[in-house]
Amino acid sequence: MSRKPDEIKNAIINEQTVIGIELGSTRIKTVMIDSDNMPIASGNHDWENSYVDNIWTYSLEDIWCGIRKSYRNMADNIKKQYGVTVTKVKAIGISGMMHGYMVFDKNDMLLTPFRTWRNNITGQASEALTELFDYPIPQRWSIAHLYQAILNEEKHVQDIDFMTTLAGYIHWKLTGRKVLGIGEASGVFPIDLSTKDYSREMLDKFNSLISRKNLPWTLRDILPDVLVAGSEAGILTDEGARLLDETGELESGIPLCPPEGDAGTGMIATNSIVPRTGNVSAGTSVFAMIVLEKELSKAYPEIDLVTTPEGNLVAMVHSNNCTSDYDQWIKIFGEAIKALGVNVSKAELYDTLLGMALKGDADCGGLLGYGYISGEHITNFDKGCPMFMRLPGSRFNLANFMRTNLYTSLGALKIGLDILFNKESVQVEEMLGHGGFFKTREVGQKIMAACFGVPVAVMETAGEGGAWGIAVLASYMVNRAKDQSLKVYLNEKVFAENIKTVIKPDPEDVKEFNKFM
């Protein structure tokens, strides 16, 4: 449903719009949507993590500078298109890259640089907690980072007053509330599905485990509260408004929904929140989320168990590496073309080179690659070591080279998927794809379908991504009918008219992908 410019202008003036902000690995995006959940305007800010003292991190300065630039770009686009100033909206939602580790003392000072999901430095803690809980605790989870810091006897542990994630930190600074949406909270510490809160049994086990350390806190004392989708999670304060908008145009008093991670917003953006639905987000990293009909038979280190924003159980396979390595190869090709005096746009360069993959041999011509820019927990690599290999008799051409890069970008993911499909008989009817991997038409879908062995669909709204997803969650909080479930709201108010393209797996591609593995 499209609206006329005057209708959109009136919606902005009458405070009937909603803002969503998501901090992804390479881009911060701000989206404004109308009451029909359609995007009105957006603003972006590109950024990159830094590798400092063996830690992948982003500084607090970069976080807030990036948020303000992204918000300002959105607000300036509104002024340019509709001639109005954004002063107030109906609701705001904040999302960020999942999990990781941010800890603060009683004076609200960050105790150690933000440790992102990309750090594979908690293997000892991850294994010990998985055994203790009989529940998978991935390396990037906040509790794994905390316990590893305890095992390392890091001095800051004594001074911890609050532990949260990137989304939780930003939400806290905007509202003063120390909360998380349940989907994001499920990557901080395991959730009890019956209570929609942290598992009391596992909290007790952890506190017993660390009792000899004589720390001045218990775990529950330092964790954010857990909220399900639709809950009110705080109000934008005067200070929070200035953090978002330095110009002073944005007013305080705006309600915020529970902050979620990019895994949760990806589920919303693809309407994948009920059993037998799933989505795959593929960009810097790649992760697949499948909503389960029942619990798995046992804990697998390759499989995370998280929840939807409503608190339903989800199996998640997460690989730290996806497009980063072939992005660098494509950059090299771009430099070569430029050196020859030819100007080609980035979009044309990607579309051409990735499109070549579909012309390659189904078995990639015997070529092999490992695109590990960072460590890869599924295959037990602590640090990145990207490699490309071939034998003298391999069919080494551009098409096979590009196909190999696409195949290997999904290789670690495939290991986890095989556990779900082959060992646990998990059923999924189709996977909804979103992220940079799918930007080149059909290529990403076709390769991903070969990996999954099920149809892969892409929606028209997939390009809006997680910023749109968290905006929809904020809209659900303020616009839903009384007692309306998130499932019904998405089906009736968000995706009723959404068009998607579906590509079914080619049996030959599936066969050869398995041979590649």
At 177-199, the pLDDT tens digits run: 999 999 999 999 999 999 999 99
What's 494's DSSP letter?
Answer: I
Distant-in-sequence, close-in-space partners of 136: CB < 8 Å, separation ≥ 6: 130, 299, 300, 301, 303, 304, 305
pLDDT tops 70 at residue 461: no
Mean pLDDT of 409-422: 95
pLDDT tops 80 at residue 483: yes
| Predicted pLDDT at 175 | 98
Mean pLDDT of 475-501: 92
pLDDT tops 80 at residue 340: yes
pLDDT for 192-245, tens place per residue? 999 999 999 999 999 999 999 999 999 999 999 999 999 999 999 999 999 999
Confidence of residue 500 (pLDDT cuts 50, 70, 90): confident
Distant-in-sequence, close-in-space partners of 132: CB < 8 Å, separation ≥ 6: 205, 206, 209
Backbone angles phi, psi at 281, to 5 degrees: -105, 120
Mean pLDDT of 418-444: 91
Helix (H) / strand (E) element for 466: namely helix 465-479
Backbone angles phi, psi at 402, to 5 degrees: -70, -40
Beta bridge partner(s), residue 52: 55
What is the C-alpha to C-alpha distance for residues 447 and 260, in angstroms, rounded to an integer?
29
3-state secondary structure of 113: coil
Residue 449 tokens, joined = 């379908």
pLDDT tops 70 at residue 1: no
Q: Looking at 4-134, list the stretches that DSSP marks H as alpha helix, in order from N- to C-terminal side.
A: 5-13, 60-82, 123-133
Domain ranges of the chain: 324-409
Residue 269 tokens, joined = 């953006």
Place of tokens 């049996």: 507
Q: What is the mean pLDDT of the chain?
A: 94
What is the C-alpha to C-alpha distance for residues 179 and 183, in angstroms, rounded to an integer?
12
**Three-state SS across 347-413?**
HHHHHHHHHHHHHCCCCHHHCEEECCCCCEHHHCECCCCCEEECCCCCCCCHHHHHHHHHHHHCHHH
What is the C-alpha to C-alpha distance for residues 104 and 36, in angstroms, rounded to an integer?
39
Confidence of residue 464 (pLDDT cuts 50, 70, 90): low
Find out if CATH 1.10.645.10 is the number for domain 324-409: no
pLDDT tops 70 at residue 95: yes
| Predicted pLDDT at 2 | 63
pLDDT tops 90 at residue 59: yes
pLDDT for 376-411, tens place per residue? 988 988 888 999 999 999 999 999 999 999 999 999
pLDDT tops 80 at residue 42: yes
Query: CA angle 487-21-444, nearest 5°?
Result: 70
- Contact status, residue 426 vs residue 290, Cβ threshold 8 Å: yes
Beta bridge partner(s), residue 22: 29, 95
- The model's pTM: 0.85
| Predicted pLDDT at 168 | 98
- Contact status, residue 18 vs residue 477, Cβ threshold 8 Å: no
pLDDT for 277-333, tens place per residue? 999 988 888 989 999 999 999 989 899 999 999 999 999 999 989 999 999 999 999
pLDDT tops 70 at residue 110: yes
Backbone angles phi, psi at 153, to 5 degrees: 55, 45
CA dihedral 355, 356, 361, 365 (to 10 degrees): -130
Number of Cβ within a 10 Å radius of residue 406: 27
What is the C-alpha to C-alpha distance for residues 253 and 237, in angstroms, rounded to an integer?
6
Residue 26 tokens, joined = 């390479």
pLDDT tops 90 at residue 337: yes
Closest CA to 206 of 133, 268, 275, 106: 133
| Predicted pLDDT at 339 | 97
Amino acid at 321: N
pLDDT for 19-39, tens place per residue? 999 999 889 999 999 999 999
What is the C-alpha to C-alpha distance for residues 283 and 321, in angstroms, rounded to an integer?
8
What is the C-alpha to C-alpha distance for residues 369 and 55, in angstroms, rounded to an integer?
25
Beta bridge partner(s), residue 434: 281
Q: Residue 240 half-sphere exposure, CB side, CA atoms within 13 Å?
A: 21
Q: Residue 415 half-sphere exposure, CB side, CA atoms within 13 Å?
A: 15
Confidence of residue 463 (pLDDT cuts 50, 70, 90): low
pLDDT tops 90 at residue 412: yes
What is the C-alpha to C-alpha distance for residues 375 and 121, in angstroms, rounded to an integer?
9
What is the C-alpha to C-alpha distance for residues 369 and 385, in angstroms, rounded to an integer?
11
| Predicted pLDDT at 399 | 97
| Predicted pLDDT at 440 | 87
Beta bridge partner(s), residue 256: 92
